Structures are given as structure tokens and as C-alpha cells.
Chains A and B, each alone.
Chain A
């Protein structure tokens, strides 16, 4: 009786130690594997002081920050409604535009963000950004976005360089997405799309879905 009781106690204590171990290892692993690092490979157009985002027209003002996840349907909607005008603003250098491709929807968001960063190195970011949203799969992490399909999307907008292909296949900027995650967290971005004009968020009820309101909001900051 005494031995069986002490045996039970041993099992119980072992279980407690094991669970504590799982929790500790899980916490440490989670924190380490999500840490940002300034030594990660970053695309040439990325600026650490702009939240590690991809910067277009670094010298222009005002500053427009665009936080998206390439798998987020509302972001696709935003791109289809306002992307044309925003890309015009970029082409005419009327504003500094910083894109922050977030990856909270999962693995295929990371692949897409990596592909977008690779396209920035080929000076084709704006076209790739649009093409990614146009080719957004229905549903999250369905397996439709792979390195091969993302290379094909790049080809469709004229990115044919071998360096682009290699960049995607190497997952060159996969780790950089962690820096984006940490910095967008610091900026307290809790949903996508989020657009900041000179640091001030647009009105979620009106200015995202209405192209004339979007233009007005940009005009109010001096984009005309």
C-alpha cells in the first residue's frame, strides 16, 4: 500500500514537471522564433526607420503607410478600389509610400510577402503588389500559393530575371517578415488593411471603401 501510494505521487510529480517543461520550452521557443533581427536579409528598398517597410519615393512627402496581408480579402478589396489611384500617386512621386506586408494569416502570407520583397529588388513592387491581390486565392493557406505559383505571378507582370526566381526559391526575405511583424506590432496595427497618412489612420468606416473619400483624405495631406 505504502509503495503504491508513493509510486502514484512519483507519477504525479513527473507529470507536473513535464507540463511545466512543455510550457517553458514553448514560451522560450515562441519568443525566440518571433524575434526581429536587424541582421536579417532585407530588400534594398526597405528602411529600418520606416518599420522595415518597402519604401517608394523616399524623398517625397507626405508619408503614406499601407499595412496589408496578401491573403486578407479586405486588403484585396482596398487594392481594387484605391490601388489604381495610389499607384498613380507613387508613379508621379506625389507621396512617400511605405508598404508593410504583414503575415498573420499564415504560411502563404509569408511566401507572398517574400515574393513581394523579391519583386522590389527588381523595381517591380507596385506591379507585383497588384498582381498578388488580383491572384489572391479564395480561402486562407489553401496550397495555391507556392514558390512556383508566385514566380509565375511575377512572370505575368514581366519579372523574368533569374535573380527574382532565386530570391523566391531561397526564401531570401522570409525572416525579414518577422521584422515587419514586430514593427507593425509596435505601431499597434491590429487589422488589415490599415493606411496611415502622416501617421494618422484613415477613417475605417468611409475612407477605405469609397475612392472619392480616399482621394480627399490624401488631398487633405497635400497630395494633389
Chain B
């Protein structure tokens, strides 16, 4: 059992890097083209003061792209796995509080975002997806060494 894991782990690390990194790159890339909407999506969570939400809306997509690129290329995997996990944790908290407070918003995870009709909210599936991605980030923190990485 121990031996099997030792063989599989570098490949699992590679897979986790590609999935978490790929999702982050896609999420960031879909947002950088329309940062007004990105800022609006962050504001709609009604969690941060407006000026901070706007700033976050402009900055976050680039951070996502940066972490995603480094994960896919396999550089600083340990740190970026942790950062990816922390971002996912922040998203989970933000979505859960929006759900609990009865806000009707799109998560804005991949562009879009803002207020939507109450029947169009997808809080549970979004949280489940983000928990999965959080798990991948945690895995990368503990097992950063994998195949096809720039880290040696």
C-alpha cells in the first residue's frame, strides 16, 4: 500500500497541479477581459467595503492567473498549492455567507457575477466544487514533488 502510493504520488501531484492550476487560469482569464464586471461580482457579496471590493475585483483575476501558471508549470508548488487552497477557502466562506444571508447572486467565479434571480443561485454545487479544489491545494502543500515540474 505504502509502496503503491509512493509510485502514484508524483503523478497525483501532477494531476492536482493541472486541475487546480487550469481552473485558476480559466477563472482569471475569463475575468480579466471585463474587470468592471469582476468588481461588480465582488461587490455583490456585500462582504467588503466598496473600495476594497472594487480593488479586489481588479486584482484577483491576475493573482488567479499567476498562481495557476506557476502550478501548471510546477514552480513553487508548495507555496502556490497553499495559496490556491487559501483562495478557495476564502471563496467558500464568501459564498456560504451570501447563501446564509439570503443574497441572490452568481458566484462570479468565471466572469459574470452580480445579482441573479433567487431560483438561479447555485450555492451548494459551487461550494462542493471549491471544497474539492481546496483539497487539491492542501494535497499539493503536503506533496509538492511531482512529474514534469520546474521544481526539482
Report A's interface with B, CB cutoff 8 A: 5, 8-9, 11-12, 15-16, 19-20, 22-23, 26-27, 30-31, 34, 102-106, 181-182, 185-186, 188, 190-191, 204
Q: How many residue pairs bridge A and B at CB < 8 Å?
A: 78
Taking the closest CB of chain A, its distance from the CB of B56, in whole angstroms, is: 11
List 30 A-B pairs, Cβ < 8 Å.
A8-B150, A8-B152, A11-B150, A15-B150, A19-B69, A19-B70, A19-B73, A19-B75, A22-B69, A23-B62, A23-B63, A23-B65, A26-B32, A26-B62, A27-B59, A27-B62, A30-B35, A30-B58, A30-B62, A34-B35, A102-B36, A185-B39, A185-B43, A186-B51, A190-B40, A190-B44, A190-B114, A190-B115, A191-B44, A191-B114
Compute how far the CA of A103 lies from the CA of B39 in the bound complex, rounded to whole angstroms.
Answer: 13
Q: Is the CB of A12 within 8 A of B151?
A: yes
Q: Is the CB of A103 within 8 A of B62?
A: no
Interface size for B (C-beta < 8 A) is 31
Contact partners of A22 in chain B: CB under 8 A: 62, 65-66, 69
| Contact of B50 with A by CB under 8 A | yes
Q: Take A19-B66, A190-B115 as given contacts and tell me if A185 and B150 are in contact as well, using a CB distance cutoff of 8 Å.
A: no
Compute how far the CA of A12 lies from the CA of B150 in the bound complex, rounded to whole angstroms.
Answer: 5
CB < 8 Å: which of A5, A30, A188 contacts B32? Answer: A30
Taking the closest CB of chain A, its distance from the CB of B36, in whole angstroms, is: 4
| Contact of B76 with A by CB under 8 A | yes
Contact partners of B40 in chain A: CB under 8 A: 104, 185, 190-191
CB < 8 Å: which of A8, A23, A185 contacts B54? Answer: A185
Most chain A beta carbons < 10 A, residue from B36, B63, B105, B150: B36
Q: Tell me if A's interface is mostly helix, strand, loop or mixed.
A: helix
Contact partners of A9 in chain B: CB under 8 A: 152
Chain B, range 53-88, C-beta contacts under 8 Å to A: 54-55, 58-59, 61-63, 65-66, 69-70, 73, 75-76
In this complex, what residue of B is CB-closest to A178?
A: B36
| Contact of B145 with A by CB under 8 A | no
CB < 8 Å: which of A8, A31, A191 contacts B58? Answer: A31
Report B's interface with A, CB cutoff 8 A: 32, 34-37, 39-40, 43-44, 50-51, 54-55, 58-59, 61-63, 65-66, 69-70, 73, 75-76, 105, 114-115, 150-152
Compute how far the CA of A39 lies from the CA of B44 in the bound complex, rounded to whole angstroms.
Answer: 29
Compute how far the CA of A26 lies from the CA of B39 in the bound complex, rounded to whole angstroms.
Answer: 15
Contact partners of B35 in chain A: CB under 8 A: 30, 34
Taking the closest CB of chain B, its distance from the CB of A25, in whole angstroms, is: 9
Taking the closest CB of chain B, its distance from the CB of A107, in whole angstroms, is: 10
Contact partners of B151 in chain A: CB under 8 A: 12
Compute how far the CA of A8 lies from the CA of B35 in the bound complex, rounded to whole angstroms.
Answer: 36
Compute how far the CA of A92 lies from the CA of B53 in the bound complex, rounded to whole angstroms.
Answer: 39
CB < 8 Å: which of A20, A30, A34, A106 contacts B66? Answer: A20
Taking the closest CB of chain A, its distance from the CB of B14, in whole angstroms, is: 16
Compute how far the CA of A116 lies from the CA of B115 in the bound complex, rounded to whole angstroms.
Answer: 25
Taking the closest CB of chain A, its distance from the CB of B49, in whole angstroms, is: 10
Q: Take A190-B44, A191-B44, A191-B115 as given contacts and tell me if A185 and B50 are in contact as well, using a CB distance cutoff of 8 Å.
A: yes
Taking the closest CB of chain B, its distance from the CB of A196, in whole angstroms, is: 15
Contact partners of A26 in chain B: CB under 8 A: 32, 61-62, 65
In this complex, what residue of A is CB-closest to B69?
A: A19
Q: Is the CB of A104 within 8 A of B37?
A: yes
